[in-house]
Amino acid sequence: MKRQRLLCLLLLPLLALLPSRETAPALAPTPTGYLALTFDDSPNGAATERLLDGLAARGAHATFFVIGEQIEGQEALLRRMADEGHQIGNHTFTHRRLDNSGAVGRHELERTEELLAATLGGAGYWVRPPWGFASAETLREAATPLVHWSLDTEDWKTRDADKVARLIIDHAQDGDVVLLHDCYESSVDAALAAIDALSARGFAFVTVEELFERMGVAPETGCFYCRPDRLREVR
């Protein structure tokens, strides 16, 4: 009897793992919308680490556009981003605008692409032009899709976590690409608060690349996307 009881106790946790029609938990509901949070001028040490902790705790993914000259000394942080399923992109080497810098801008993109490839492997890191400035020439020469944004939080201007979170919560729509910066603690707080509020409304947080997949749009080289279904005009 005693042995039987012991056996039951041992088997009980195993039984919980078996599928049962009566007790199987309901599948997570299909998200009502998808959002891509993007963080520019990355990586930024402790603030980025705290953001990664918060994203991991929430099962959320994001996209980080990296400044090449900030990579040295932060390679482990970049690897962590990649390992945890976030997308990493190219934001030039010194935050150079691409619409008027010709060969210098091209070189900055190449140098950062090489550093990302050396640190993470892979190739073809998507580009976010600093300040959103790109010319027709930039697009013609691009080797990847270029990513603008459809919702600008102006987090660099206000540096107010409540305001930035409120802006995202009130304005984000299915398919939006949201611009933030992980160099500000206020932006980290805002992003995590927005994820909490919008997850409760059924939104899921994905990388830019996954947003294209979810919306059934094939990303094209040399296109400058505000969001998968909207291009940014350049002259």
Binding region for Ni ion (CB under 5 A)? 40-41, 130
Per the residue annotation, which of 61, 148, 181, 189 is the catalytic one?
A: 181
Query: Least distance in Å: CB of 156 to Ni ion?
Result: 9
- Asked about 229 being catalytic, the answer comes back as no
| Catalytic annotation present for 40 | yes
Q: Which of 158, 144, 157 is nearest to 113 (CA)?
A: 144
Instruction: Tell me which residue has its CB nearest to Ni ion.
Output: 40
User: Looking at 40, 155, 176, 182, which residue is catalytic?
Assistant: 40
Token pair, residue 40, equals 């520019």
Q: How far is the CB of 183 from Ni ion (least distance, A)?
A: 9
Pairing of strands 224-227, 146-147: parallel
> Helices 185-200 and 45-58: crossing angle, nearest 10°?
10
Count Cβ atoms within 10 A of the Cβ of residue 54 and give its class: 0-12 exposed, 13-18 middle, 19 or more buried: middle
- CA dist 9 → 5, 14, 22, 23 (Å): 6, 10, 21, 19
Cβ atoms of residues 68 and 111 within 8 Å? yes
3-state secondary structure of 107: helix
Closest CB to Ni ion among 132 and 175? Answer: 132
Alpha-carbon radius of gyration of the chain: 21
Nearer Cβ to Ni ion, position 64 or 205? 64
Q: Any idea which residues carry the catalytic annotation?
A: 40, 181
